Structures are given as structure tokens and as C-alpha cells.
Amino acid sequence: MKLKTFKIFIKVIDTGSYSKAAEKMGLTQPAISMQIKTLEEKLETQLVLKEEGRLKLTPAGKVVYKNAKNIILDWEKLKFEVEDKKDKSYKNIVIGSSTIPSEYILPDLLAKLSKDDPEIKSCIEVGDSAEMIELLEDGEVDLVLVGFKPLDEKYNTIEIAEDELRLITPQKHNLSQKKEIYINDLKKENILIREVGSGTRKAMLNSFREAGLKFNDLNIKSRLGSTEAIIAAVQAGLGVSFVSKFASSKAKKYGRVEELGVKDVDFTRKFYLAYNKNKDNSELIEKIISLLK
């Protein structure tokens, strides 16, 4: 099976449309449809259904989607590793990042890195902080940018940025009408929370504990897997939550949510860069650190 077929399949699912996938990949819609059909014929099962005008994965389709993404990722990693062994002058680095650093710190960092040394190539892994630290532990990334500090002494860890979690609510929510909001005001609200392993979740719950608010005091309405999922759910009216000020200010700017402060609790947190002390490309890592200062 060609990698291109898997890439097309992933793009169709990610865009939710054959026509959008065709547009993004510079192909015709019939060509896209033919690739999906070929994949289904190879696997002898239906992968995609159309219900009420929307594409939906079958159980087999979900397995293919998950594994296709892993295959593409493994191929990209393989190419990086092969290139690293070739007699060429450029350098490669694989960075693991939690969501907020990947969106608000890494783009500027990578632009500076490329300007400083155009031969450097980078590969970025994005997930929650715990997942990224696990990748660092397994040697699958060279360094990580995460929302909590790895404790293992085998890592060099450097504070790179300070952040603040901000309360977000739907537009015209009752909390946005109050002059001042206190932690106890949240006991009556539906709270949306990030998944276990998220740096945002850890910072949020730590701040609650320090303010004397226990987890059982909260009405946890839903657990979601990304900052954008939290913002979208708040916008839809499912509940209220806390997200990074980097994300909340942007969501507020575009009128998606209200952005509020809580008087009697400190929601500041830090982002960290961590890498193994024994990493053999420490010169490149030191260059990245210097650009973050």
C-alpha cells in the first residue's frame, strides 16, 4: 500500500470532505474517491460511511485511521534518522511539545532557528505534557517543551516562559456579570477539564488545592483532550473552564468566549524545556536554549 493512499485517507477524515481533501492535496475529487475505494478493496471492508451528509468512520475505518497516522509518522522519523546518517551538512532535531508551546512558542523559535542556521531541519511531536515526557524517556525526541517540570535528575530542565490560566465562560454568562469572581463561585458551575497528563489540568487542580477547593467540590461536567476542544465546548455552553492566557485572549478577541479572572487564587504556571543530559546533539539544543532567552 502506498503512503500517498494513507495520506489521502487521513486528509479526507481530517477535513471531513472529499472535495476539501482534493483541494488541499491538489487532486481531483474522483481521484480522491478512487484512492479510498482502492484502500477499502485492499482491506476488503468499508472504512467510511456518509450519514446525514457527514463522513463517519466505521470501526475498521477507525483502526485504519489510527494506524495510518502512525505509519506516516514512523516514515517521517525513518527519513530523519536516515538523513542524519548521510554525509550531509544539515542537522536534524525532534522536539516534543505540549499544545500551548507548540502553538505559541515553537513557531517563533523555529523561525529564529532556521534564520540562524538554514540547514537545520525539525520534526515536531505534539501531545499532553506526560506523553511528551514519556517520549523523552524513550529517546524518541531530543527535547521537550512542557507544562510541568520533569523530576528525573537525568534531565536538564530550564524554565522558558511563564503563563497564567484564565477562566473562560460562554458569552453573557452569569459569571461575566459579576464585578469580582471568587473560587467558591465555581462550585455551582459545570466545570470542563483537560485529560490526565495535561499540564493545564495539573496547574488548574494544584491552584484549586492551594485555594482550599477540593476536586470533589467541583461539578466536573466533561473531560476533553485539547485546549481547542475546551474552548469550543465552553463556546457551545457546556460549562466553564481554565485555559492558557495565550489561548483565552485569542478566543476572546474573536468573540468566542468571555475571559475572566478569579480574585482569590493564583493560576500562574511555567513552561519548561527538558532534555537528557547525555544527549549527543547538545550543541543544537544549546542553540535552541539561547534563542529562547
Mark 113-149 as b/e (b = at least 16 C-beta within 10 Å).
beeeeeebebbebbbbbbbbbbbbeeeebbbbbbbbb
**Distance (Å, whole) CA 198 – CA 223:** 11
| Residue 290: exposure state from Cβ atoms within 10 A (0-12, 13-18, ≥19) | exposed
Per-residue pLDDT tens digits for 221-264: 999 989 999 999 999 999 999 999 999 999 999 999 999 989 88
What is the structure's pLDDT at 89? 45
| Residues 6 or more apart whose Cβ sits within 8 Å of residue 66 | none
pTM above 0.75, yes or no: no
Domain boundary assignment for the chain: 3-82, 89-161+271-292, 164-269
For residue 121, give the C-alpha cell. 531541519
> What CATH architecture is 3-82?
Orthogonal Bundle (1.10)
Per-residue pLDDT tens digits for 74-126: 888 888 877 766 644 447 889 999 989 998 899 999 999 888 888 888 889 99
Question: Under CATH, which number does the domain 89-161+271-292 receive?
Answer: 3.40.190.10
3-state DSSP call for residue 265? coil
**Distance (Å, whole) CA 122 – CA 111:** 11
**Distance (Å, whole) CA 167 – CA 193:** 12
Cβ–Cβ contacts within 10 Å for residue 53, how many?
6
Are domains 89-161+271-292 and 164-269 of this chain identical in fold? yes
Question: Under CATH, which number does the domain 164-269 receive?
Answer: 3.40.190.10
